[in-house]
Structure 1
């Protein structure tokens, strides 16, 4: 555990003014020095801190003989009975005019509410246009202006203050001077400043004193977590909250993603909490990545992982949509960004999630809008560079197109931690479905779970995308609604999963003759696959038109070997592709245009076998390499005779595999008819449905070509 401070080393009592002196001695010293040199100063601080910081400043400089004039717009005396009270701004303008043009004597003029001069978007109010000339009228005046971090200031006002001091939260080194002995007892015996700091790093000294004084509970508790929880809840403002999402219990699958998050971030932070040496803590903090990119396809849970990370850290989450930050007004987009960081730092530990980061942080030179994106990227980098190392504020950007992001964001020290969250594989899908099964009470039988895993392994019906975590959640919610409507207390079976997936799909309505053509075509593909030794097992055959752009399809299981592709596999692919066309020609004595895509894919494979991989069968033939910038242009010119030989090899491969497919179908004509008829009857077949048609010892054709 981190080092504990003995109770007797802490202050017994502490007023708010003493707390400000203890928390900000360096900042007060810098402001005093600037004022003594005659430099106007702007202090950026929370509203509640302003009067206390001013009094400490005044007490310090009074000893140097300096005098202050505090202009807050309040009238010196009440108006006569029956007379309306003057407005705050009119009184302030009168006070300013008197200070600038009145009796000349050396004094420091304090403006505690600079934000009164601005609109919410950072523009000048009507009254402020009268104030600006007064501020610049007397160059000998020494001003102290206080600015709330939540309000932007126009450049014309900021330029008045050559020295600026920003005060947000307290530094970790000063925290030990801000906790009294009585308050420390609520956290156990001896104060752990490092454990306490991560809950209050963004809280100013005055508010910190108020929060610590409000903590309830017994002294010297065995478990200090309730006291820390009170602090955590008190520092959450507005819509901020700490999500309750366990990385391992509530997110299914994605073992590698979780392991990387755990090892690279969560374990490092957990290790930091065990350290007591300040130098060791600083060294560990320097290793933490403050900027992270979570990238991958839509719906895979990028924001969900960020929330689970926040839950593990006890951090508040702010989810910001990139497009919502943009504004048509000059400077407002950058100001929106700045305010998000201010709120996040005040509620630290916190995580800012920029959803669709690429909407404003794409590579420079690719902007098509007003160009505000460039300024927003610069503002984002400025805010990230301004973090104190001890502050637990992290920035997560999610995107579907990591390659489009500005390279300046991805360099080490900024968004250096990049995490890919892909579509879920079969293991991930099983884990995700099991979690929803438990949470929604679906009662999935083992057969239904296995069917759902296999069924969601291909493209989503009616679209061109694969199944993501969001799709799986939608499937489970549809099953839950179906069980609720039907009042079904029994287990969920595969038929229920299929109905939930396809009940409301808008499928093409085929005639009987069209269904026969499609069934013949898909049966041909499947039968050739069953007799090719290198073909993956078949999971499903469908003729319902429930896959985007296809009236029917054969779905295969994942290959056992994904990274090494052999000549035998490619030749079997050619044979399988010809199976549909040859089945139509054999049984229908005609062919449809549905095989056009099969022929195109077969030609691409055969040409790659010959011209790229040198597998055409004649080892003496040259391999035609292609230039990287143009896939159609050979990098080395070949003679016409060699090109003719290459084309001949391509034609030979295509013809030999077409004939191979025809031989299989002619020999197994009876099986082809049985499989087609079963497809026409059931529309969809899984592996179990047609296993009885194929003998377990069915002969496997050798790959010829």
Structure 2
């Protein structure tokens, strides 16, 4: 098919060519001329007179002669044709042909084949107007001089290929735009989510204030005084000087005295370091700042140093005051040169700078507490920072008695007359103030569970067993073989402790499972222990070996259990300390090996040989002793299987061949019934 604009004959004849066309038309006859346009119908006979007039028109040689032969309608038609020729001439010479004629490429064909080929409808030739024949002859005779440019409008292989390539390129560009848009959306989504997550983390770590790195600490008033602190006489005496300075600083500054900037309280957990710091602020009636070393440690760089600056800035504004930093080792530990965390030392450096930044008599007293003073940096414990280190020790016998009296004589506690505070203090060697408070609290709970309001000795014994040995199982283990092995194991410990000089005094033995153990042998010191002799250390190892030796003697070496693992661990640690720390080996001598001073290969072999020798000798002594007292071992194991729990007096009676005293009936535990409502108006137990 042809398109309308692609098949229009490109009539490029200029106005000057019209006379030539007319001369050419004059050389042909009318019949021959008409025969060349066979597709144009001949005129009727009644139109013959007009034919002569039309023939006269063909004889014209100039434009003027032609115009004289034509009437007004013919002139109008020819002028329109010339204008169209001029437009078509301009159209052909301009690449933007379609746009100039207002046409656009289309693959829709014209209604007739003639219009497809000539570019104008056939009705134009058939219309009755004067000069029709002349126009037909003019067009037909000049066809040889007319230039046609045809362009196929239907799809060829080349056109189809070009169209496919163009479509593919458009699809490719469209896909690339879609992919780019999709990637942009995904990237923006990820950035938004990461930003939101970081924002939420920062807000969470900022604390209740919901501000970035918000660290606001407010001072408090302490109501604790030295009367509330039982024991700790040496520590209280050192701290009284600080209290007097805070109360009356002129008394000290007038004679040129300088108060220490910082006081370090060191000691095991539970001895009352925090209570002493509160008592200093309460006695002096000054603001009290309490922070923990872990509060300065953050994941963001510079946060710890900023918190230190904020703390001391606030403290200086309300001086005189007391700043208490608990767990000082978490912020003031030894600095290390490591590339993994190059900013780890900023917090301690800022703390050192702040303690150097205020005057000694400015009224700001820094009190630090730690149970690992050996891990503190040397710069923080030098003079000018933490000048004084006060050792807070485990309470001795007199202080333990005061602690028991303080906790048991509270207004809401009623004691039974069988409670002996002296015995409690004597048999609780190594207990700290926190342990004693916990023991009294457990006794009160046990008293309440048996529906009583009077604490008796049995409640305190129960609480002591729970604190030292762990909570007991409610029911006996049903495996008789396991109970028998456990009974001989604990009987071995007990027999060795009773017949070995310098061994710790026995307190109680039981095969009732407590904590992670199936049985337990407890010892109790009659007096405070300030140092330990070599004989006592060797006796500890012998007692630890007694459990495994008893199993081996009774059941054979193939039937021993794994219950002696903790015993061997304790014995090995004691032997290693004797060799490497206490200088109790003849071959090693008095050479002490610290944690950082590792021995050489040959020395390490010698240390291992000495440790093995001490363990083997201890095992041999336990074997000899239990073979000698095999009958006592059997009687004690049988009593444990029968009674489960034996005190020191009961053990001595069994070894002497006597029956132990009948055990006191356990206090009846009465628990109130818990009512769970099932339906309105109904209760189910």
TM-score (norm 2): 0.53
Summarize the Cα distance change of 1:633–1:480 in structure 2 as closer, same or farther, 3 Å threshold.
Answer: same
Match of 1:253 in 2: 231
What does residue range 679-698 of structure 1 map to in structure 2 within 5 Å? 679-693=640-654
Q: CA deviation at 1:521?
A: 1.4
Name the residue aligned to 2:531: 563
Instruction: Deviation per CA, 1:29-50: give whole Å up to 9, x if none.
Output: xxxxxxxxxxxxxxxxxxxxxx
Cα deviation, residue 256, structure 1: 3.1
Contact 1:582–1:658 (Cα < 8 Å) also in 2: yes
1:388 to 352, 359, 362: 359
Q: Which residue of 2 aligns with 1:576?
A: 543
TM-superposed deviation, 1:307: 0.4
Alignment partner for residue 513 of structure 1, among 465, 481, 491?
A: 481
Contact 1:577 1:599 in 2 (8 A): yes
C-alpha distance in 1 between matches for 2:299 and 2:228: 40
Q: Which of 251, 271, 274 lines up with 1:300 in the alignment?
A: 271
8 Å contact 1:606–1:654 — kept in the other structure? no
Aligned to 1:661: 625
Q: Do 1:344 and 1:350's aligned partners in 2 also have CA atoms closer than 8 Å?
A: yes
Structure 1: give runs of 5+ residues left out of the alignment. Answer: 1-150, 153-236, 459-466, 697-705
What is the SS of the residue equivalent to 2:263?
strand
Match of 1:526 in 2: 494
**1:369 positional shift:** 7.8
Distance 1:331 1:650 in 2: 53
1:542 aligns with 2:510: yes
The answer to whether structure 1 residue 279 and structure 2 residue 245 are counterparts is: no
- Relative to structure 1, is the Cα distance of residues 315 and 550 closer, same or farther in structure 2, using a 3 angstrom cutoff? farther
2:450 corresponds to 1:473: no
User: SS at 1:439's partner residue?
Assistant: coil
The alpha-carbon deviation at position 365 of structure 1 amounts to: 1.7
**Equivalent of residue 672 in structure 1, options 612, 627, 633:** 633
Structure-2 residue corresponding to 1:240: 219
Equivalent residue of 1:563, what SS? coil
Contact 1:310/1:351 (8 A) holds in 2: yes
Residue 522 (structure 2) pairs with residue 554 (structure 1):
yes
Give the superposition deviation at 1:607. 8.6
Say if 1:526 and 1:554, in contact at 8 Å, map to a contact too: no
| 1:28-427 equivalences in 2 (<5 Å) | 239-247=218-226, 249-262=227-240, 265-266=242-243, 279-280=254-255, 283-284=256-257, 286=258, 288-327=259-298, 331-365=302-336, 371-427=342-398
Task: Say if 1:480 and 1:369 are closer, same or farther in 2 by CA, change over 3 A.
Answer: farther
Whether the 8 Å CA contact 2:548–2:560 is kept in 1: the answer is yes
Change in Cα spacing, 1:676 to 1:338, as seen in structure 2 (3 Å) is: same
What is the aligned length?
435
1:650 to partner: Cα distance: 5.8
Verify the 8 A CA contact 1:292 1:419 in the aligned structure 2. yes
Deviations 1:494-531 (CA, angstroms, capped at 9, x unpaired): 33551586499375963332222212111122122212
Q: Aligned match of 1:494 in 458, 466, 490?
A: 458
User: Per-residue deviation at 1:599?
Assistant: 5.2
TM-score by length of 1: 0.52
CA deviations over 1:252-308 (Å, ceiling 9, x no partner): 23333333334x534666786656xx631xx12x1x211122233333322111001
CA offsets 1:311-362 (integer angstroms, 9 cap, x no match): 2222221111233334555554433322322332333321111122233322
Local SS of the residue matching 1:299? coil
1:543/1:684 contact within 8 Å kept? yes
Q: Distance in 2 between matches of 1:332 and 1:355?
A: 19
Given candidates 571, 581, 593, the residue that maps to 2:562 is 593
Structure 1 residue 437: Cα displacement: 1.6
Give yes or no for contact 2:440–2:460 (8 Å, CA) kept in 1: no
Give the RMSD, CA atoms, in angstroms: 4.4
Gaps of 5+ in 2: 1-210, 658-685
1:396 CA drift (Å): 1.4
Cα distance in 1, alignment partners of residues 649 and 441 from structure 2? 27
Q: Deviations over 1:101-139 (max 9, x none)?
A: xxxxxxxxxxxxxxxxxxxxxxxxxxxxxxxxxxxxxxx
- Checking the alignment, whether the CA contact within 8 Å between 1:361 and 1:377 is kept in structure 2 is yes
SS of structure 1 residue aligned to 2:406 = helix
Q: Contact conserved, 2:245 with 2:251, CA < 8 A, in 1? A: no
